[in-house]
Chain A
């Protein structure tokens, strides 16, 4: 049994419940124990435009809490995973900054050492559990489905700080979905942004981005979308109808988290995977 401290971040545990429900359901089935740890806060990434020092502090703080548990962190949100990865990257070679942050962390009895490892959903499944292992556990193969993968910018780039997937030709989700019996194919917009990062200050433009990408995917003839980020999912799923209005298109494409697809293939009941919470038209897939 592998064991990780679950770092939930903000968006998943306060509204993107389908992601949390489904990952808590599927990982134990694959012999991964997720440990709930008290004390975490925002990862800092959403505040980067305001004050990046704050971002680094918050990231280091959460990493220090993980280190105290002696566990690596499982970070299902790519934004959080980015923030924590960048913090590790910066503090590794900047001792001055590390000392400064540690002097502030002392008030909460925390120290950042840089020892905790990080995994995201995609590398946990692909690199650690492994595609073969997943394949062996499949009960209901995802047959006759053509799926479009969306990794999300924060998971892909920049490779300099260490990302779990290839920046220009990511294939790990494809490999996992292939093991589940589904077919994925390349589409030119695969690496494009979902729009979420400017939703805070330019919501119309954000929805335009969302709508444009969804429309392109729909036009390519995909049956559904697979994502692994609560921010992207919020745009693609929760706000799909608004995005459709914004780009004046009839959008009608199911969007599921990778962990939801996985759960379905492993034979988990739909409700336990939070499928009753998806706003996109998941019913049209007639999933068992």
Chain B
């Protein structure tokens, strides 16, 4: 069943729609209200052919206030952040930012975060980077790391505990 089928049974959520539009305004993005459904965003969408994402429908559903269905759907996690939809929209709507808002809402509502995102977040919370120094292999089969390649030590926050404190607080903040 597609999101559109699901939403035909749905109740509109005016409050959530307002929340997303307020967020878009804070981020200097144009309101979804200006969308006139030309589907230029979908025409160039990198996730369209492969994963059936249709950004113009995402915007249409937002305009109708059908938010929960999108928040609960896996399709919002198929966006490749190519920014073609934002660049090319004749009305300056940024569907990619609507998708980010929906993903943020899904996370905030306690839905399971897909894939490696949780691991990346935990890594940033503990070592301030998405991953620690990795080993690589040269063409001659030698194992190397930053130091053996002659690269200087990683740049890192001088007081990790202060960094972590703010970030932990931020984890529950909204735009």
Interface residues of A (CB under 8 A from B): 8, 10-11, 13-15, 17, 20-21, 24, 36-42, 46-54, 56-58, 89-90, 93-94, 96-97, 104-105, 107-108, 153-154, 156-160, 167-168, 191-193, 195, 197-198, 200-203, 205, 208-209, 274, 276-277, 283
Between A and B, 9 residue pairs with Cβ closer than 8 Å are: A20-B151, A49-B100, A51-B107, A53-B170, A57-B167, A157-B86, A200-B116, A200-B120, A277-B136
Bound state CA distance, A52 and B103, in angstroms?
Answer: 10
Known: A21-B151, A108-B163, A276-B139. A209 touches B80 (CB 8 A): yes
Bound CA span A13–B166, Å: 24
With an 8 Å Cβ cutoff, the count of chain B residues facing the other chain is 67
CA distance A202 to B174 in the complex (A): 26
Classify the secondary structure of A's interface with B.
helix
Min distance, Cβ A88 to any Cβ of chain B, angstroms: 11
A8 to B133, CA, bound (A): 13
Inter-subunit contact B80/A54 (CB<8 Å): no
Interface core residue of A46, A51, A104, A192 (most chain B CB under 10 Å): A51
- Is B175 a contact partner of A53 (Cβ separation < 8 A)? yes
- Chain B positions within 8 Å of A, measured between CB atoms, are 26-28, 46-47, 50-51, 77-84, 86-87, 92, 94, 100-101, 103-104, 107-108, 113-117, 120-121, 124, 128-134, 136, 138-140, 144, 146, 149-152, 154-159, 162-163, 165-167, 169-171, 173-175
Contacts of A50 in B (CB 8 A): 103-104, 107, 113, 117, 121
Given A47-B120, A192-B46: A38 touches B156 (CB 8 Å cut-off): yes
CB-defined contacts of A39 to chain B, threshold 8 Å: 155-158
Pick from A105, A108, A168, A195: contact of B80, CB below 8 A.
A195
Q: Look across to chain B and name the residue whose beta carbon is closest to the beta carbon of A191.
A: B84
- B139: which A residues are within 8 A, CB to CB? 276-277, 283
Contacts A41-B124, A160-B86 given; does A93 touch B28 at CB 8 Å: yes
Q: B46, A193: Cβ atoms under 8 Å?
A: yes
Q: Within the assembled complex, what's the spacing in Å between the Cα atoms of A14 and B128?
A: 12
Given contacts A14-B129, A197-B81, A277-B138, A38 and B155 within 8 Å (CB-CB): yes
* Chain A residues closer than 8 Å to B146, beta-carbon distance: 13-14, 17
Q: Which chain A residues lie closer than 8 Å to B158 at the CB level?
A: 38-39
Structural contact, B171 and A54, CB atoms closer than 8 A: yes
Q: Would you call A277 and B144 a contact (CB within 8 A)?
A: yes
> Which residues does chain B contribute within 8 Å of A94, judged by CB atoms?
26-28
Q: How far is the CB of A163 from chain B (nearest CB, A)?
A: 9
Please determine whether A17 and B80 come into contact, CB atoms closer than 8 angstroms. Answer: no
Q: Is B51 in contact with A205, judged by CB distance below 8 angstroms? A: yes
Contacts of A49 in B (CB 8 A): 77, 100, 103-104, 107, 117
CB neighbours of B167 from chain A (8 A): 54, 57-58
Q: Which residues of A contact B128 (CB under 8 A)?
A: 41-42
User: For residue A48, which residues in chain B have a CB less than 8 angstroms away from its CB?
Assistant: 81, 100
Q: Contact between B100 and A52 (Cβ–Cβ < 8 Å)?
A: yes
Name the residue in A57, A94, A158, A205 with the highest tally of chain B Cβ atoms < 10 Å from its Cβ: A158
User: Cβ of A201 and Cβ of B157 under 8 Å apart?
Assistant: no
Bound together, the chains give a CA A13 to CA B145 distance in angstroms of 10
Given A94-B26, A200-B115, A202-B78, also A52-B87 (CB < 8 A): no
Q: How far is the CA of A20 from the CA of B153 in the complex (A)?
A: 12
Is B151 within 8 A of A13, CB to CB? yes
Q: How far is the CB of A47 from chain B (nearest CB, A)?
A: 6
Query: Which residue of B94, B130, B152 contacts A11 across the interface (Cβ within 8 Å)?
Result: B130
New A-B contacts (20) at CB < 8 Å, excluding given A46-B117, A97-B175, A197-B79: A36-B155, A39-B158, A41-B128, A46-B120, A46-B130, A49-B77, A49-B107, A50-B103, A51-B104, A51-B171, A51-B173, A57-B170, A90-B27, A93-B28, A94-B28, A104-B170, A157-B84, A198-B77, A201-B116, A277-B136
